[in-house]
Amino acid sequence: MSHQETLTLYVSTFIQQLIHGGVTKAVISPGSRSTPLAYLLQDHPQIDCHVNVDERSAAFYALGMAKVSGRPVVLVCTSGTAAANYYPAVVEAHYARIPLLVLTADRPHELREVGAPQAINQIHLFGQHVKWFSDMAIPEDRDSVIQHVSRSAVKALAKAMDAPMGPVHLNFPFREPLSPVLGQWKTAQTQTPVSIMTGEKTISEKDAVRLSKQVNEAEKGMIIAGPTNDPHATQALLNLADKTGFPLLADPLSHLRSELYESNALIEGYDAFLKSDEIKKLLKPDFIIRFGAMPVSKPLLQFLSPLNDVPHLLVDQGTDWRDPLSSVTEYIDCDEKNISEAISSRADRDPAIAWLDLWKKINQTSIEEIERHTQNEKDEGAVIGRILRSLPANCHVMAGNSMPIRDLDTFWTRHAGPFTLWANRGANGIDGVVSAALGIAAETMEPVYLIIGDLSLFHDLNGLLVAKQHPVNLHIIVLNNNGGGIFSFLPQAAEPVHFETLFGTPPSLDFSHAAKLYSLFYQKLESIEDVEAGIEGLQNEKGVTITEILTDRNENVQVHRALWEKVKAAVSGVL
């Protein structure tokens, strides 16, 4: 694709999405760098463009329009002090709560901070007076960049309209030449527009009817419950699954795996069986409704990633929707329970029995294979499987990053648990995990079992001092594979030269000394056969304890991969 075509596709996609979101007005101040935005807005039959030479006047003019319509008006100017002239009206819009979409053109990154003419620092130019700032990507024709520009338009509109309304600022770096292709709106290849439903904690009658219609017409729907802090929607999600016959894929941090322990709709083995292309093809949905954050499971992500043509609703609160795959077709800011009940109560369909049975059969076969693996193998997954099966019912478990939470996702089937799972999955760091688990123990006043890697435990050893000061009960179970286990699963592991130095980072620590430093109970489980008894024995210990289990990083990778093959074969066998 030529530079000009790429530029046109990128800007056209952005404009189409704005129009889909209800934008009809733009106020443009003349300038060169902003040519792509100005030309294409002016060129579009559905945008009413107003030219206003002085940017200060232009911004107040747009403000006046938006006051009347209550809808965001687009502002476009070139780079340099032009943008700074918008500031008075941006401030007024902020305090008067008027939605404005401020689009400033900028030099590309290589011409910033090098003394290029009319290139000023436009990043966060309006400070705290805009509700959102985004420095946009340089136009490219790759799908991910086109998705980015499309979804940035959606997000900008949502942020501007979310109460209290206000201005947002997007900064567009454009390389020369700056002229787009005009007159091609009818034939332009742009993304399918994405919808937003925002500003409502409760779903409106109209939206409930519209979404229920989609659900009722779907043949192969699926419900995905992602990580959430708020378990109050559990029963409503279960009802939704029962009324529709859609499988309910429950992330380990969804609070659903334990709650729905006995449920018909619960699918918990997907992390293992969605590794297979064959199974993925069989289970391709025609409708997705997802709740909360992105699930932990990477195979599930990879399953969803190519499904851009499938209606995909994301229900989440606020306007920071979590959609790294750019696969969502409608962002919904709504209470999970409220929308689930609104759809369930309007369900008018025979539950999709055959479709759910297919999922259940594959799930059942997979979790049996996982159970067999747990009994017969010695890798970290099997160790975690055995730990989970040795815990007291309904206890609190904290999973470290990055391997423990992933293994737990795979090995926490209905053969283990139920229990309440916690993890630090906001930014997925290995730092601070011990202290967070101690805080959970302090707040619950119940024993917490922390399953953690050796690097992560090392990182937050200091946190253990709290054991001397507060009566918390935390059982730290460290899988010591002497270094960073998850890196062995990465392509980088194929390069042995610097791998151990930079990724393996073997600390070679014997944690018995750390236990002595803080006067903690300590045990080392030498063999996998000792796991059950060792973990069960912890129920007699008080305070903070450390249980060390030595595992092998390299062997671990091989055995995990073998499990995925076994699951695949077993599923093929029963279908």
**Which residues 351-410 are close enough to bind a second copy by CB under 8 A?**
398
Is 41 a residue that touches a second copy (CB under 8 A)? no
Question: Can you say whether the dihedral through the CA atoms of 202, 204, 207, 208 is positive or negative?
Answer: positive
Window 407-446: residues binding a second copy (CB under 8 A): 422, 424-427, 429, 431-444
Quote the least distance from Cβ 189 to a second copy, whole Å. 33
Among 114, 163, 354, 497, the residue binding a second copy under the rule CB under 8 A is 163
CA dihedral 14→16→21→25, nearest 10 degrees, is 90
Q: Which is nearer to a second copy, 97 or 561 (CB)?
A: 97
Q: Tell me if 182 contacts a second copy by CB under 8 A.
A: no
Among 16, 34, 52, 79, binds a second copy (CB under 8 A): 52
In the bound state with a second copy, the residue whose beta carbon lies nearer, of 308 and 435, is: 435
**Pick from 469, 501, 508, 540: which binds a second copy (CB under 8 A)?**
469
How far apart, in whole angstroms, are the C-alpha atoms of residue 541 and residue 73? 64
Among 142, 201, 498, 516, binds a second copy (CB under 8 A): 201
Least separation, in Å, of the C-beta of 223 and a second copy? 21
Peptide bond into 30 cis (omega under 30): no
Toward a second copy, which CB reaches closer, 423 or 525?
Answer: 423
Six-digit token pair at 9? 């596709």
Q: Counting contacts by CB under 8 A, is residue 58 touching a second copy?
A: yes
How many residues belong to the chain? 575
DSSP 501: I
Q: Is 290 in the site for a second copy (CB under 8 A)?
A: no
Number of residues in contact with a second copy under rule CB under 8 A: 74
The residue behind tokens 């922390």 is: 450
**Cβ-based neighbours of 395, under 8 Å, separated by 6 or more:** 419, 420, 446, 447, 448, 449
Pick the binder of a second copy from 10, 14, 39, 60 (CB under 8 A).
60
Among 26, 47, 93, 233, the residue binding a second copy under the rule CB under 8 A is 93
The single residue among 94, 148, 257, 386 that binds a second copy, judged by CB under 8 A, is 94
- Region 522-561 residues binding a second copy, contact defined as CB under 8 A: none
Q: x/- contact string, 212-251, with a second copy (CB under 8 A)? A: -----------------xx---------------------
Spatial CA neighbour of 76 closest among 43, 111, 101: 101
**Coil, helix or strand at residue 41:** helix
- In the numeric block, the tokens 């008075």 are attached to 88
Cβ–Cβ under 8 Å, residues 336 and 202 = no
* DSSP 8-state class, residue 508: -
Return d(Cα 33, Cα 118) in angstroms, integer: 10
Instruction: Please identify, among the stretches 208-216, 316-324, 491-499, 564-572, the one whose residues bind a second copy according to the rule CB under 8 A.
Output: 316-324
Q: Counting contacts by CB under 8 A, is residue 169 touching a second copy?
A: no
Using CB under 8 A as the binding rule, the residues of this chain from 68 to 87 that contact a second copy are: 68-70, 73
Query: Rule CB under 8 A: is residue 89 a binding residue for a second copy?
Result: yes
Could you count the other beta carbons within 10 Å of the beta carbon of residue 204?
12
Question: Considering the rule CB under 8 A, would residue 460 count as an interface residue with a second copy?
Answer: yes
Q: How many CA atoms lie within 13 A of 499 on its CB side?
A: 16
- Tokens for 156, please give them: 């900008």
- Order of strands across the sheet that contains 248-250: 195-197, 330-333, 312-316, 287-291, 221-225, 248-250, 266-267
